[in-house]
Amino acid sequence: MDPLYSLQGKRVFVAGHRGMVGQALVRALAEENVAAILTAPRDQLDLRDRVAVARFLRQEKPDAVFLAAAKVGGILANDSYPAEFLFDNLELETAVIRGAFEAGVERLVFLGSSCIYPKLAPQPITEDALLTGPLEPTNEWYAIAKIAGIKMCQALRKQHGARYISVMPTNLYGPGDNYDLATSHVIPALLRKAHEAKLANAREFVIWGTGTPRREFMHVDDCASGILHATRYYDGYEHINIGLGEDVTIRELAEMVMQVVGFEGRLVNDATKPDGTPRKLMDASRLHALGWHAEIPLREGLASAYEWFVENHAAAA
Ligand code: GFB
């Protein structure tokens, strides 16, 4: 199958290169024949600043842009800081997507999230479930901003023929994840809590909520390869899901984490913390039909994430 878009010889800007997904994209792009991987340190370019972003894009003249920058966090951070999750994300999407179009960027890939879908969407979730029902209240602010990003790409395509696409990865984990318990997602939180419980010879460790919600977890290196695959082979108006088609309950995840870490105590539920959406399993058949599949099994991925956490503990924790 011939690619619809080739990255060969292109100048590629990764917006958000210090984040977990941005780092994985930079690793994956380093294996490609691109002319240059452009990045912008946060202290030199505020991606929410439209004027500064426009200037950067005019000067650096990327051919392609990956918009992996976002204000992100786990369920509690989303629920606690709705204003930041809404405004920061809308501002940076506007600055980067519109700025890219005005600077003549030929290809842009916008990264969203599975939380754009209705809280009770039929499972597995197909792309056309978007905007068919109410959102999960703990992350509706982030979801609205991500839906707006999809619409920005669609508007530029509809009005000007821009070849800008949106990809929706499922829940991600891997090297470079955030291990701050107040703002992290569940996998780094559980790895850290189990590790600390083991070191302290504790009898138990705490998981938030009931442990019954189901989540699909994908290693960030699989996600990066899926994004590059979509960049080459997908050029549609609709967004496209990136998932693996399997999920686990949070309790099952916690049990796997305990095995990986080697902690043998008990799991205790903290019912004061939210469960969030009961299930969000992606239907990734569109991307599968284009010849891509995730490759890293959860248990293996958890073991490598734990290794990364132990090696980088001082910096990450
Ligand atoms: O990963 P997580 O924060 O994000 O939580 P969401 C997933 C599930 O794990 C929830 C439970 O049911 C949590 O209650 N959980 C159990 C924990 N123990 C813990 C813990 O110690 N820390 C955390 N963080 N969770 C986020 C959205 O939703 O997912 C974002 O808020 C985004 O918008 C992201 O979409 C991918 O899957 O619930």
Q: Could you report the per-residue pLDDT of 110-161, keeping only the tens digit for each?
A: 999 999 999 999 999 999 999 999 999 999 999 999 999 999 999 999 999 9
CA of 1 to the centre of ligand 1 (A): 38
Q: Please state, as a whole number, how many other Cβ atoms lie within 10 Å of the Cβ of residue 51.
A: 9
Contact 309 CB / ligand 1 (< 6 Å):
no
CA distance 145 to 92: 10
CA distance 64 to 316: 31
In the predicted model, is pLDDT for residue 315 greater than 80?
A: no
In the predicted model, is pLDDT for residue 223 greater than 90?
A: yes
**pLDDT tens digits along 249-269:** 999 999 999 999 999 999 999
Q: Which atom of ligand 1 is nearest to the CA of 190?
A: 21
**pLDDT > 70 fraction of the chain, expressed in percent and rounded:** 99
Q: Which of 5, 81, 117, 142 is catalytic?
A: 142
Contact 113 CB / ligand 1 (< 6 Å):
yes
Residue 248 dihedral angles phi and psi, to the nearest 5°: -135, 160
Q: Write down the pLDDT at residue 234.
A: 98
Q: How would you label 249-264 residue by residue, b for 16+ Cβ within 10 Å and e otherwise?
A: ebbebbebbbebbebe
Helix (H, G, I), strand (E, B) or coil at 219: strand
Contact 276 CB / ligand 1 (< 6 Å):
yes
What's the pLDDT band for 28 if we cut at 50, 70, 90? Answer: very high
Q: Which residue has the tokens 């509690």?
A: 76
Q: Which residue has the tokens 């539920």?
A: 269
Q: Calculate ∠ Cα 82-222-314, nearest 5°.
A: 65
Q: Are 85 and 142 in contact (CB under 8 A)?
A: yes
Q: Write down the pLDDT at residue 137.
A: 95
**pLDDT tens digits along 81-102:** 999 999 999 999 999 999 999 9
Q: Write down the pLDDT at residue 49.
A: 98
Q: Write down the pLDDT at residue 313.
A: 76
Q: Which atom of ligand 1 is nearest to the CA of 250?
A: 9
CA of 170 to the centre of ligand 1 (A): 12
**pLDDT tens digits along 37-78:** 999 999 999 999 999 999 999 999 999 999 999 999 999 999
Q: Which atom of ligand 1 is nearest to the CA of 193?
A: 21
Residue minimizing CA distance to atom 6 of ligand 1: 75
CA of 193 to the centre of ligand 1 (A): 14
